[in-house]
Chains A and B, each alone.
Chain A
Amino acid sequence: GAVVSQHPSRVICKSGTSVKIECRSLDFQATTMFWYRQFPKQSLMLMATSNEGSKATYEQGVEKDKFLINHASLTLSTLTVTSAHPEDSSFYICSASQAGELFFGEGSRLTVL
């Protein structure tokens, strides 16, 4: 299947700083990518849909000014957590669509101190 890669896999940052997470489709082009968040012992929750060349669509309750999404190319979407706080500590997972099927990245674990 298609390969989706995330970077970094783990990141620790101080409160108030911003963190960028990258999601790349390695062997295909993805016009649509999705960002999920997963808290411990919970399921994945969709945060936003990222469309190449246009603004992301955010799910209800997700602050678009806090979670900045950029999908500038067909192989890269980025999620920037701005002014991170400890409650933003979570496992962030992206997925990319190819031929209607979804492929997931390995996830990025963010810890905000």
Chain B
Amino acid sequence: DAKTTQPTSMDCAEGRAANLPCNHSTISGNEYVYWYRQIHSQGPQYIIHGLKNNETNEMASLIITEDRKSSTLILPHATLRDTAVYYCIVRPSSGSARQLTFGSGTQLTVLP
């Protein structure tokens, strides 16, 4: 039972902002939105997470809608090294079920 829905693939021009959407319409009040990415043949890399406020770090920004049913990950200036599969994951804030359940993700291809 998928908890998130993401487009299968997206392209972005190098140097432009990459906006990756995610729908999580059944998210619960105690669940965070996490974003990870996986470059080919590597382990997943943490990007950012948030509960209801927008978040920004050195890698990306996370915009969460007011109803929390969707979010957008923004890579402000995409580079070729940002080509990867991006996973949007909802995760409880506490409790035993705190492993990450990965969906299909979005394959982002940054084009030169």
Contacts and interface: CB of A to CB of B under 8 A. Distances in A.
7 contacts: A4-B43, A44-B102, A97-B98, A102-B98, A106-B43, A107-B41, A109-B41
A46 B46 contact: no
Contacts of A36: 102
Chain B: number of interface residues, binned into ranges:
10 to 19
User: Looking at chain A, what size class is its interface with the partner chain?
Assistant: 20 to 34
Contacts of A102: 46, 98-100
Interface SS of chain B: loop
A106 B42 contact: yes
A95 interface: yes
8 smallest beta-carbon distances between A and B, as pairs: A104-B43, A44-B102, A43-B102, A104-B44, A107-B43, A106-B43, A93-B43, A34-B99
B65 interface: no
B103 A46 contact: no
Contacts of B105: 43
